[in-house]
Every structure is written in C-alpha cells, then in structure tokens.
C-alpha cells in the first residue's frame, strides 16, 4: 500500500485489508511517502500495534517506486495491491486467490466502486461508475468474468512479477496498464472478476479533479508514444472531443469576423453537431441521476466535461511532447500521488 497524505483514510484502508480472511499468513507493507498531514506518524503508530504491518520509505512519493519497494520487502508468493484511498470489501482477497488458482491467471482484478461523502465527491463517484464518465472499461462496471487488458489494483503471482519485471519506475501514471501489457506479452492471463470490488474515494474538489485528469491524460499520451496501437481505441475519444470543441470555438470566432459561404456554413454546422450531441448527453445524464440531490446533478454537469476535456487536453500534450516530469499534484502540491 503506497501512502501519501492519507490521514483521513488510512485507518479504514488498513483495517479493511487486515480484516481479509486468508488461509495462511498475511503481511501488509506500507510504502510511506513524505506526508505533511501526520499520516506517517499515524502509520507508525498503527504498525507498532500489529506485527503484520511492515514499513518502507518512499521519499520520492512516486507510485511505481513505492510499489516496487513494498514488493521487494514482502515475503509471500502472492501480491495484493491496495491503496490508502480505497477499502477492500469483505471476502475480496479470498475470492481473488480462488479466481487466480481456478483460471491459472497471473493477475486478477475486480470492480472499482467509487463512493463519495459530500455532493461533489458523490458526483465524481457516479461519473467513475458510469460508462459516460470513464468510458466503460471492465473494472468500472463490467458484469462478466473475462480476460482483460489491465486490472484495477490487482492480485498477482510474485513469480510472474519476478519474471517480467516489477512496475516501470519511469512512469508516474499508467504503470498498472504497462505492467499488465508485459504480463500478457509473456503469455499469461489477466482476469477481470466482477465478484471482486473495492471502494474508492475520488478527489474532493473541482481543482483537484482537474489536476488529476490533466496529469493522467498526459501520461496516457506518453504510453501512446511508447506503445502505439497497443492502447485501447477508447483512449482516443477524449482528445477527439477536445479537437471538436477547439474546431467549434475557432469556427465561432471566424463567424464573428465575417459571414460564411454556403459551404462554410454547412461545414460549421457539421463541426458543431458532435459538440451539441455531447452537451445533450451530459445534460441528460445529470437529469436522469436519481435519487441524486440537485447539487449532485449540477456538479455532474461540471464533473463530466472536466474529466473528459482535462484528460483529452493532457493526452494531446503527452502525445505531442511526452509526459516528461509531469506530476499529479491533486493530493499534494509539488508531489506525485500514489493513488489511481
């Protein structure tokens, strides 16, 4: 479990992890980033009271660095990735181990069930759980067990990780997708099991959501630079939306500057159609959200475009220039976050 500034969530995350019923010994390795909210002190206090908890340092706070440090410090043949901003549901690990054995897979993951406390966070959670929000990936709402391109968090065979290599420490986002790409390239299966679920708590403010999706999109663009067509086609939808919006805005400015010819008017109308349809879909989604409060519905109208446009703009920048040293400052300004 990589940890950075998670004082409000850490105790519940640790408790849900250690409450898992497993036939055999269990340990929980926390990779501690340089928190400034008392998280490190809390983690040390929790570890002092439970000898199943081990601590390792992750001074740079990068996701894959912390994960690799925790994996190297672990002792057992199965790795269960968990996050400090998530909670495992009862029976998660036992079920995952059974699926791992039954399917002979190298990695098994389940559903990310986002949840929220305040209206904004609930609006974000609903977007995560909807195909309209994050594009319908299996772990955002799939209902059938199937082979998958990646896994949310994941329950993995240590022997396979040793064979293909651990997480790529040059990636600050998308490291799980890249690892699963190598796992599948080595001939192993990655399985999505809808009976597995993890509660995930998304960002609590609009500015943090914006920063998260800009950084995530930028790193997905970097992955496209590195791996090209091996990326799913659905990743190209948000940048296409950004392109249509930019074209519509440019058309509007040209129209202000002077009248269009008939052909120009038809072209402008064709450009506006996808943007108008998108606005209608977002509005319909917000209206249809029941029993959501009015505040949640209003936030949904802002949340969905923020996710798509920020991700798409970041993606375009990542493809054009690479991610370079892009970091996600949505949980701690100036530092990366070890959370999805």
Q: Is the Cα torsion angle 324, 234, 125, 27 positive or negative in sign?
A: negative
Cβ-proximal residues to 191 (8 Å cutoff; 6+ apart), any chain:
99, 100, 103, 105, 107, 108, 109, 145, 146, 147, 148, 151
User: What is the pTM assigned to this prediction?
Assistant: 0.87
Q: How far is CA 170 from CA 10, 80, 233, 317, 326, in A?
A: 27, 22, 24, 18, 11
Kindly state the DSSP code that residue 330 receives in the 8-state scheme: S
Beta strand segments in the chain, E: 2-3, 28-32, 53-57, 78-80, 86-88, 107-114, 146-147, 155-157, 190-200
Cα-flanking dihedrals φ and ψ of residue 170, to 5°?
Answer: -90, -5
Cβ atoms 107, 155 nearer than 8 A:
yes
CA separation for the pair 305, 283 (Å, rounded):
11
Q: Which of 316, 81, 28 is nearest to 198 (CA)?
A: 81
Residue 294's Cβ-count burial label (10 Å; 0-12, 13-18, 19+) is exposed
Residues 176-221: tens digit of each pLDDT: 999 999 999 999 999 999 999 999 989 989 999 999 999 999 999 9
Tens digit of pLDDT at every position of the chain (340 positions): 999 988 988 999 999 999 999 999 999 999 999 998 899 999 999 999 999 999 999 998 888 999 999 999 999 999 999 999 889 999 999 999 999 999 999 999 999 999 998 999 999 999 999 888 886 666 666 778 999 999 999 999 999 999 999 999 999 889 999 999 999 999 999 999 999 999 998 998 999 999 999 999 999 999 999 998 788 888 899 999 999 999 999 988 887 877 778 787 888 888 899 999 999 999 999 999 888 899 999 999 999 999 999 999 999 999 999 998 888 777 655 444 444 4
């Amino acid at each position: 479990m990589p940890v950075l500034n998670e004082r409000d969530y850490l105790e519940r995350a640790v408790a849900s992890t250690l409450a898992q019923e497993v036939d055999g010994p269990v340990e929980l390795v926390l990779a501690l980033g340089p928190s400034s909210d008392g998280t490190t002190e809390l983690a040390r206090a929790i570890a002092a009271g439970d000898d199943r908890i081990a601590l390792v340092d992750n001074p740079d706070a990068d996701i894959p660095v912390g994960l690799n440090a925790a994996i190297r410090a672990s002792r057992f043949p199965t790795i269960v990735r968990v996050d400090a901003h998530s909670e495992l549901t009862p029976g998660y690990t036992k079920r995952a181990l059974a699926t791992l054995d039954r399917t002979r897979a190298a990695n098994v993951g389940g559903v990310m069930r986002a949840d929220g406390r305040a209206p904004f966070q609930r609006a974000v959670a609903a977007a995560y759980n909807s195909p309209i929000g994050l594009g319908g990936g299996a772990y955002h709402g799939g209902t059938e067990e199937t082979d998958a391109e990646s896994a949310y968090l994941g329950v993995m065979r240590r022997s396979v990780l040793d064979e293909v290599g651990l997480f790529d420490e040059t990636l600050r986002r998308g490291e799980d997708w890249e690892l699963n790409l190598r796992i599948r390239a080595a001939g192993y299966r990655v399985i999505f099991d809808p009976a597995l679920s993890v509660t995930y708590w998304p960002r609590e403010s609009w500015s943090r959501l914006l920063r998260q999706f800009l950084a995530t999109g930028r790193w997905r663009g970097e992955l496209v630079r590195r791996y090209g067509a091996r990326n799913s086609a659905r990743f190209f939808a948000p940048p296409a939306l950004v392109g249509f919006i930019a074209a519509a805005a440019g058309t509007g400015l040209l129209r202000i500057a002077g009248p269009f010819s008939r052909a120009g008017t038809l072209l402008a109308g064709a450009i506006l159609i996808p943007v108008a349809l998108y606005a209608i879909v977002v509005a319909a989604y917000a209206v249809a959200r029941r029993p959501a409060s009015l505040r949640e519905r209003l936030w949904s109208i802002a949340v969905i475009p923020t996710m798509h446009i920020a991700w798409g703009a970041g993606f375009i920048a990542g493809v054009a220039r690479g991610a370079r040293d892009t970091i996600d400052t949505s949980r701690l300004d100036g530092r990366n976050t070890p959370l999805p």
